[in-house]
Structure 1
Amino acid sequence: MDKLLLKNAKLIDDKGIHNSDLLIEGEKIAAVEERGYFSQLENENKIKAIDLEGKYIFPGVIDAHTHYALHSRGTLSADDFYKGSISAAAGGVTTIIDYIDFPQDADFKRAFKERCREAEDSIIDYSFHQVIEDFDSHISKKLEDLKELALASIKIFTTYKKEGYIFDKNLYAELFARLKELKLLPTVHAEDDALIEDLEAAYKKRDLTEPAVHAAVRPSLAEKLAVLELGKAALKADIPIYIVHLSSAAGNKAVKELRNKGTDIFTETAPHYLMLDNALLKGENPQLYFMTPPLRSSYDNQKLWEAVSSNEIQIFATDHCAFTKEQKFQSESAFDILPGIPGTETLLPLIYSYGVARNYISLEKMVEMLSVNPAKIFGLYPQKGSLELGSDADLTVFDPELQKKLTAENLHSAAAYSPYKNFEVKGYPIITIRRGKIIFKDELKAEKGSGNFVKAHSSSLFKE
C-alpha cells in the first residue's frame, strides 16, 4: 500500500491549528503525529515525503451547491463534470454535491443512474441532492428510494413557475411530514413567486427589460417572504430546513426571526453575495454578473459578512453554473439571460482573502464552513470533511502567501471568463489530494473518471 507523508505542515480543522505531520496510507488518513515522528521511516525510504515548510493543510473543501452539465432553458452549461471537476480541483475542492433533475414519473433510481453516467468523468468525488417538483402518494412512496440510493437531501423551488420548477406551497405540510419520516433534509431556493410575477408584469408593461431590472423584479423582499413562509411550515412539521444561496440582509433577518421562534433553519451563502454588488448589472457586460437570486447592494454584502462573523450562516457554497460569454450574450433582456456564474475554483481563495484575512472569521471557522459543516449537514462526515484517522485522505494544501489574480487566464472553467477578474487574492491552494492521490499540483494529475460517488447517511441536523 502506498504511503505518503506530508510533513512540517500546519493542520487546520474546526478543532484548532496543529503543527503536525500527516501520514496517508492508500486512500485514508493513517496517522497524525508531532513533527519528526516519522523520520526513521523516511530515512529508510519506506515512505514518500513532501516537506510543506509550514504551509496549511485543510480537510478537502466541499462545494455543496454546484450545477455541472446543467440542462436548462434549451441549452447545456459550459462545465460538464470533467471540466468542472478540473476547475474544482485547481481550487482545492475535493467533493461537490450536485443535483438530479426531477423525473416526472418519480423513477428516482433511473434518474440517479442517468446522472451518475453524466458524472462518471469527474476527477473529484461527488454526491447529489434530488430536485422535487411535485408530491402525491406515488411520489411519497418512491421517496424511499432516495434512502436506498444513499442520498441525504432534496431540493424544492418556490419560484420558476414557467420553467416548471416551482413546488406548490399547499403541499409543504405533506412533503415535510414525509421527509421527516425518512430523515431527508429539505433544501430550498427561496423567492416568493407571486411577488416576482407581479413585478415582472409591471416592468414588462413599461417595456423595461435591461439586465439591471433583474434585481428589481427579484428583490430581497421576495427572499424574505419565501424564507418566512417556508420556516413556518418547517416549524409546524418539526423538521430542519436549509436555505440555499442566502443573498440578502432581509433574508438573513427572516432567518433570525424564525430561529427565535424555534425553527431549525440553516443557511448557505456564496462568495458573489459577499463580494459583488448589483452596480455590476448596470455596468459593462452585465450578463456576466447575472444569477438568481440577483446580486444585492453593498449594504447586503456587509450585512452578510456580519452574519458570517456572528455564526448565523453555516456553509459557504458557490451555486456554480457556468455558461460561456456566447451563451450569456444571447440575450440582453433581464427575462431571458441565462442565470449563473462559475465559482467553485475561486471559493477557497476568496473566502480566505476576504474573510479570514479581514478578520471576519478565523481559519478554523473557515474550514468548518467549507469542509466540516457541508460534510455533516449532507451526511458525508466523517468520511469527508475530517482530518480524523480513517477518514478519506481528501486534503487541500494551502499557501497563505501565494498571490494570484482571478482572471480567466489563471482559471480553468470552460466559461472562459471570470466574474472576479478585478480581484487579486493572497493565499491559494497548491496541492489537492483526493483519497490519497495528488490530483492537482500546478496542473492536472488525475485520470479522467477517477472520482467516485459518495454514499450519504442522514443529515446531522436530524436529532436522534
Structure 2
Amino acid sequence: MKKILLKNAKVVDDKGIRKSDILIDDEKIAAEEKRGFFEEGEQKGEFKIIDLDGKYIFPGIIDAHTHYLLRSRGTVTADDFYQGSIAAAAGGVTTVIDYVDFPEDGDFKRSVAARKKEAEESVIDYNFHQIVQEFNPEISENLADLKELGLASIKLFTTYKDVGYMIDRKMWPDLFKRLKEIKILPQVHAEDDSLIQDLKEVYSRRNLIESRYHPAIRPAAAEALAVKDMGEVAHEVDIPIYIVHLSSAEGLEAVRKLRAEKAQVYAETTPHYLMLDNSYLKREDAQLFLMTPPLRDKYDNQILWQGISQNEFQVVATDHCAFNREQKMKSNSSLEILPGIPGTESLLPLIYSSGVRNNRITIREMVELLSINPAKIFGLYPEKGSLEIGTDADLTVFDPNVEKKLTAENLHSAAEYSPYQDFTVKGYPVMTFRRGQLIFDNKLRAEKGSGKFIFAHSSSLL
C-alpha cells in the first residue's frame, strides 16, 4: 500500500497545536515533520498526497461510553456494532469502549469472548468495560482474568436493584481493595437507589409517571448522594473512581467536596447533559429524550459547562444507547420507556461547536476530553489517543468551516431520529482514518468487520 502524506494541516494533540505534515505507512504513523520536509518524496511520487489546507488533524476520537447491541427489557437497541460503528466513523470516532454484561457464573473469560464475537462486524476499533453485579471469593479471583483479557475497568451500579444491576453496599470495601490489588479501575453509575425507590412509590401512587416526572423520580440529589457514598468508600481504600455520565450541578458539587478531601474522583459527562434540558420532557415526543439519569435544568447545563471550562471533567462521552422511534414510543410511563439516545456521531461536532467556538474550552482541551484522556484512563494510550511515531494511524480530519444540521437524515444511527435535530453545528469531521485506512469521507469506505479489539493495559490513574 502506498504511503499517505497528509499535508498543510494544523495538528492538535497533547503537545499542542502546530503546522506540520504527517506520513502514514501501512497502519502506523511513520513520521511528522514541518511543512516542505517531504517535498522530494512528493516529486518522486512516493506518496498518495492529501492536501488538508485549513483543516485540523486530531488523534482519532474515542467514545468511552457506548451501548451497541444492548439487550434490555425484552428488546435490543437499533444500533448493533456494525451500524453503530458506521455512525461513529462518520463522526470522526475511531475507537469505542462498550460494555460486557455480567456473567451469572462469574466466568469473565466467557462473557468477554461472547461480547467480542458480537463486536466482530465493527468498522472501527473497540474495547470493553466489564459490568460487575456481585462479589464473592470466586468472582474476586476471576477479576484478575480481566487484565489478561485486555480490559482496564469494571462498571458498578448503585441503582437498578429491582433488575439485579446494583451491587450490595456491604461489598464495596472488599471489592475496592481487590480492584486496587489487581489494578482495575472502578466506574460507577451513581444514583441512590433507596431514595429513587421511595420517590417512585410516591409518584406511582399519584399516577405521576409521565416523562416530565422522570427528573423528580430520579433527582439530582440521588446522584449527589451516591457520588458521596461511593466516593468516601473509595477514598478509605485509596483507589480512584470514575463517575460515568454525571448529569447535575449537585453531582458536580459532591465531586468537588470529595476532591477537597483528597479523594481521587474522576468524572465524565455527556453532550446531552450539556446541551439539552428537562423542557424536552414536556414535549409530545418526550419519550425520545428520556435517559437515565434524566435531563436536568438549564442551570445544570450551565454549571456542567463551567465544570468543563475549569477542567473538572476528564472525559466527555455519549452513553450512546439508540432505540428507534417505535421502540421509544411504546409507553408513556417514565418507568417503562426504554432509556437512552443516540449520540456517538454528534459528539465531536457538538463539543467543538458549543465548547470551542463559544470559548468555553480550547481546541487542545477538547482533544484531551475526547481522545487523549479516555485513551490514558482506559489503558489504550499511546496506541490510541496520540500521534506518536509508530502508533496506530487513527486520525480525525476536521473542517472548522463545515456547517451541518443534526437531523436524522444527516446522521447514520439506525434510531432514525436525532435528539439534536434543532441544532446546527459549525465544524465537522470530514475524514476518518482507522489504522491508516480512510474509512469515512462523506461515505463509508471500510469493510464490515475491519475493526478489531484493542488490548488495554492498566489505567493511567492506577
Structure-1-length-normalised TM-score: 0.99
Aligned counterpart, 1:348: 348
Letter of the structure 1 residue corresponding to residue 221 of structure 2: L
Letter of the structure 2 residue corresponding to residue 58 of structure 1: F
Aligned counterpart, 2:76: 76
CA distance in 1, matches of 2:418, 2:211: 18
Aligned counterpart, 2:458: 458
| Contact kept in structure 1, 2:2 and 2:46, CA below 8 Å | no
CA distance in 2, matches of 1:259, 1:51: 46
CA distance in 2, matches of 1:117, 1:455: 15
Aligned counterpart, 1:47: 47
Aligned counterpart, 2:10: 10
Aligned counterpart, 1:238: 238
Structure-2-length-normalised TM-score: 0.99
CA shift, 1:15, in A, is: 2.2
Q: Is 1:380 aligned with 2:380? A: yes
Specify the SS of the correspondent of 1:162: helix
CA shift, 1:2, in A, is: 3.2
CA distance in 1, matches of 2:400, 2:67: 29
Q: Is 1:438 aligned with 2:454? A: no
Letter of the structure 2 residue corresponding to residue 337 of structure 1: I
1:361-380 alignment runs, 5 A limit: 361-380=361-380
Q: Is 1:410 aligned with 2:421? A: no
Aligned counterpart, 2:260: 260
User: What is the number of residues matched between the two proteins?
Assistant: 462
Letter of the structure 2 residue corresponding to residue 81 of structure 1: F
Specify the SS of the correspondent of 1:443: coil
Letter of the structure 2 residue corresponding to residue 165 of structure 1: Y
CA shift, 1:447, in A, is: 0.3
CA distance in 2, matches of 1:305, 1:161: 31
CA distance in 2, matches of 1:228, 1:336: 28
1:317-332 alignment runs, 5 A limit: 317-332=317-332
Letter of the structure 2 residue corresponding to residue 343 of structure 1: G
Aligned counterpart, 2:312: 312
CA distance in 1, matches of 2:201, 2:271: 31
Aligned counterpart, 1:121: 121
Aligned counterpart, 1:283: 283
Specify the SS of the correspondent of 1:156: strand
Specify the SS of the correspondent of 1:304: helix
CA shift, 1:338, in A, is: 0.2
Q: Write the deviation string for residues 311-348 of structure 1: whole angstroms up to 9, x where unpaired.
A: 10000100000000000011110100000000000000
Aligned counterpart, 1:392: 392
| Contact kept in structure 1, 2:402 and 2:427, CA below 8 Å | yes
CA shift, 1:418, in A, is: 0.1
CA shift, 1:391, in A, is: 1.4
Q: Write the deviation string for residues 181-227 of structure 1: whole angstroms up to 9, x where unpaired.
A: 00000000000000000000000111111111111000000000000
Q: Is 1:301 aligned with 2:298? A: no
1:176-191 alignment runs, 5 A limit: 176-191=176-191
CA distance in 1, matches of 2:412, 2:49: 28
Letter of the structure 1 residue corresponding to residue 448 of structure 2: K
CA distance in 1, matches of 2:221, 2:240: 23
CA shift, 1:14, in A, is: 2.5
CA shift, 1:72, in A, is: 1.0
1:135-146 alignment runs, 5 A limit: 135-146=135-146
CA distance in 2, matches of 1:347, 1:54: 22
Structure 2 unmatched ranges of 5 or more: none
Aligned counterpart, 1:64: 64
Aligned counterpart, 1:208: 208
CA distance in 1, matches of 2:391, 2:57: 14
CA distance in 1, matches of 2:30, 2:54: 20
CA distance in 2, matches of 1:207, 1:86: 41
Q: Write the deviation string for residues 362-406 of structure 1: whole angstroms up to 9, x where unpaired.
A: 000000000000000000000000011111100000000000000
- Runs of 4+ off more than 6 Å: none
| Contact kept in structure 1, 2:88 and 2:344, CA below 8 Å | yes
